[in-house]
Structure 1
Amino acid sequence: MTTLQQFNQQMQPAIDQTMQGVVVSHPLIGEYRGLKEMLSYHLGWDVKFNRGEVQGKRIRPLLVLLTCAACNNNHWEKALPAAAAVELLHNFSLIHDDIEDRSPLRRGRETVWKKWGDALAINAGDALFSLSFEALHNLKQTCSDNVVIQALKIVNTTCVKLTGGQHLDISYENERAIGLEDYWRMIEGKTAALISASIQLGAVIGGASDQTQQYLAEFGRSLGIAFQIQDDWLGIWGDAARTGKSTESDLLAGKKSLPIVFALQNKGKFTERWLAGPIQPEEVGYLANLLIEEGAQSYTEKQAENYTHQALQSLESANLSNEAGQALHELALMLLKRNS
């Protein structure tokens, strides 16, 4: 068993228990008929077996806890409220993203909006957003007031970046072409912000020095960008059976993912077809192959490699040499070489 697997076995049940303490055990949630059911469904608490398949990998709370432990002699329990907060915040964004993208599937089963409708799904997402801050306030039980204030500032700033990035993502759907600079700005908010915040929270709660916090912030930013680039790759060439999400959606919805944005700069056959009007389902395979021919796949892979190198270099500079630091490095490698 690897160091990461050992930490994961300890941390995942604690993350789940902390989240349930905020959501399921909340004195008010149970009073509103059906709301607890919806939240439990989305968070994967409605099934007894194979929970990991519908819950997701809980990557962001793991980053919080491992970073805290790496900065604090392998002690991570004090960061559990922050770990729960970022996962609840992430799931708020997923519920809303699925509505905005009209995605029928999430983690291999119906999304909340598909099952209950848009209005109730929006409300469920709002509930998770509110509960994420309740979770974060529980840091006052484990940390100083100064740390709690810093954590709140990180999360508040991240929420603006997160929604700002999503705003750009949706806005770009109405534009047939955008530049690469527009793309980088979008994913800085849409994906990199929350991953970076997870690592920053762990560093602050773990008592890292200012220099170490800076290295880890750089690590989180590069990791988040590389993660989104990989997601863009999977959105066109991934295996839907493994990702739990259709590989047609990005092309059909006019998403400005990195392969598409790159190809549009070349003004080749892909650009010609793209500018002619909405893509039809029967064209997806042809266009995915056209993106390969025009170098979009190799460019995307190269950018993923570049940001992977930057992320690992920044993590190495942070000099986190204990077991948790090793596990954090292992998790980063896993995220940067994923296929689902």
Structure 2
Amino acid sequence: MRTNQQLVTRGETIAPAERETPSAKTLRRARTVVEPALRSVTQQFCPTMKSVVGYHQGWLTADGEPATASAGKGIRQALALLASRAAGDETAGIPAAVAVELVHSFSLLHDDVMDGDRTRRNRPTAWTVFGASEAILAGDALLVTAFQTLLTCGHPAAPEAARVLAATLQSLVRGQSADLEFERRHNITVDQCTAMIEDKTASLLAAACTIGALLGGAPDDLVDGLTGFGRQLGIAFQSTDDLLGIWGDPALTGKPTGTDLLRRKKSVPVVAALQSGSPHAAALADHYRRTHRPDTDELIHLARLIEDCGGREFTEHHAAEAVRRAEQHLDVLDLSHDVRTGLLELLHLTAHRDL
């Protein structure tokens, strides 16, 4: 019998179904379908890699005991399933959902090492628990397994799906490289920042839709439309993430406040502020050229400068425009009501996360 207490299922705490938002139900359903397959493909790993991956995924504690930690929202796997359902065969999309989730986990493991992040989802990051080398190797194992998952699924479209995933990895690397390079440069434009976002974040969300649709047997026009939708969702997602990186509540983001400012990342709000021509832009640029580690008061001051320069308002508009373009991609597609509704729920969830 259900109660009004929170329920714990599959290693995560969720609200009772009657309290769940539609998007939360979509995500929970996708996790329920995909997680057994994710766990299964990681069973081939050696014990050390199982420990690192299990901890990173939220399945295990640092001591290897079963955990109830959050494993993330699972937006990419939900997109893959919805895309395959749009083509008429959701079950065929499970390998696509597994593959994109493995790539996403790979990228997070490596990003945390490169960025020196010590907290993710309100827990110490895997590299701080097991060591940087082990975290990098675990990411490598996840990446290889993503391709194995597609190439051994037996679907006629598997080779094309693997080619899409390979191209996406090239984009991810290019985007991550640009993101790191931007930290050392002082002449970044908003267009360059947007191109970096499309590579680093939007490409994998687009690929989730592409590969899901391919394995579902979608015609070319449906594949293209869903891919375009996923790309714009990715831009909205990262724009909102950039806002959270400066003004987000650590209790909701799982990361300390101001992590992007600590590393002087050239995110959309920062670049827009620096390029604004505002009287405050020069002061912001001066702060960004310094090499010392900002204290809490300076982080607050930097966030205020960015907002005074219009960086926050610009980024909110940037995200809203991406949402509008994503909706336009769906408007021309012949989708069932449940698929269209599910995709729109995910779109608005990504762009309206709480700050």
Task: Mark yes or no: TM-score above 0.5.
Answer: yes
Counterparts of 2:237 and 2:214, CA distance in 1: 23
Deviates more, 1:283-292 or 1:273-282: 273-282
User: Which amino acid is 1:163 matched to?
Assistant: V
Counterparts of 1:121 and 1:6, CA distance in 2: 31
Matches within 5 A, 1:299-314: 299-314=314-329
Distance 1:3 1:112, change over 3 A: closer
User: Which amino acid is 2:183 matched to?
Assistant: E
Q: 2:82 aligns with which of 37, 44, 66?
A: 66
Counterparts of 1:205 and 1:162, CA distance in 2: 22
Q: 2:134 aligns with which of 120, 137, 147?
A: 120
Counterparts of 1:172 and 1:292, CA distance in 2: 20
Within the alignment, does 1:23 sit opposite 2:42 as a pair? yes
- What's the TM-score once normalised by structure 2's chain length? 0.87
Q: 1:279 offset after TM fit, Å?
A: 5.0
- Give 3-state SS (helix, strand or coil) of 2:60's partner: coil
Residue equivalent to 2:8: none
Counterparts of 1:323 and 1:61, CA distance in 2: 17
User: Which amino acid is 1:328 matched to?
Assistant: L
Q: Deviations over 1:36-71 (max 9, x none)?
A: 1111111111165644x2x00111011000111122
Residue equivalent to 2:12: none
Q: In the alignment, is the contact (CA less than 8 A) between 1:79 and 1:202 conserved in 2?
A: yes
Residue equivalent to 1:255: 265
Aligned residues: 327
Q: In the alignment, is the contact (CA less than 8 A) between 1:70 and 1:322 conserved in 2?
A: no
Q: 1:278 offset after TM fit, Å?
A: 4.2
Matches within 5 A, 1:17-56: 17-24=36-43, 26=44, 29-30=45-46, 33-46=47-60, 48=66, 50-51=68-69, 53=70, 55-56=71-72
Residue equivalent to 1:99: 113
Counterparts of 1:230 and 1:249, CA distance in 2: 15
Counterparts of 2:58 and 2:108, CA distance in 1: 13
Q: Deviations over 1:13-46 (max 9, x none)?
A: 221100111002x2xx23xx42211111111111
Q: In the alignment, is the contact (CA less than 8 A) between 1:320 and 1:326 conserved in 2?
A: no
Q: Deviations over 1:82-124 (max 9, x none)?
A: 1111101100000000011100001110111111221111111
Q: Deviations over 1:212-268 (max 9, x none)?
A: 222222111111111110100100011011100122211110111001111111343
Residue equivalent to 1:331: 346
Q: 1:300 offset after TM fit, Å?
A: 0.7
Residue equivalent to 1:246: 256
Residue equivalent to 1:83: 97
- Give 3-state SS (helix, strand or coil) of 2:257's partner: coil
Residue equivalent to 1:322: 337
Residue equivalent to 1:274: 288
Larger relative contact order (CA 8 Å, sep ≥ 6)? 1
Where structure 2 has 5 or more consecutive residues not aligned to the other structure, the ranges are 1-17
Distance 1:9 1:118, change over 3 A: closer
Counterparts of 1:10 and 1:263, CA distance in 2: 40
- Give 3-state SS (helix, strand or coil) of 1:318's partner: coil
Deviates more, 1:299-308 or 1:39-48: 39-48
Q: In the alignment, is the contact (CA less than 8 A) between 1:82 and 1:139 conserved in 2?
A: no
Counterparts of 1:221 and 1:239, CA distance in 2: 26
Within the alignment, does 1:189 sit opposite 2:224 as a pair? no
Q: In the alignment, is the contact (CA less than 8 A) between 2:58 and 2:67 conserved in 1?
A: no
Deviates more, 1:299-308 or 1:313-322: 313-322
User: Which amino acid is 2:140 matched to?
Assistant: D
Counterparts of 1:58 and 1:41, CA distance in 2: 16
Within the alignment, does 1:290 sit opposite 2:308 as a pair? no
Q: 2:31 aligns with which of 12, 23, 39?
A: 12
- What's the TM-score once normalised by structure 1's chain length? 0.91
Counterparts of 2:160 and 2:149, CA distance in 1: 15
Residue equivalent to 1:206: 216
Q: In the alignment, is the contact (CA less than 8 A) between 1:270 and 1:291 conserved in 2?
A: yes
Q: Deviations over 1:302-332 (max 9, x none)?
A: 1111111001111122231332232222222
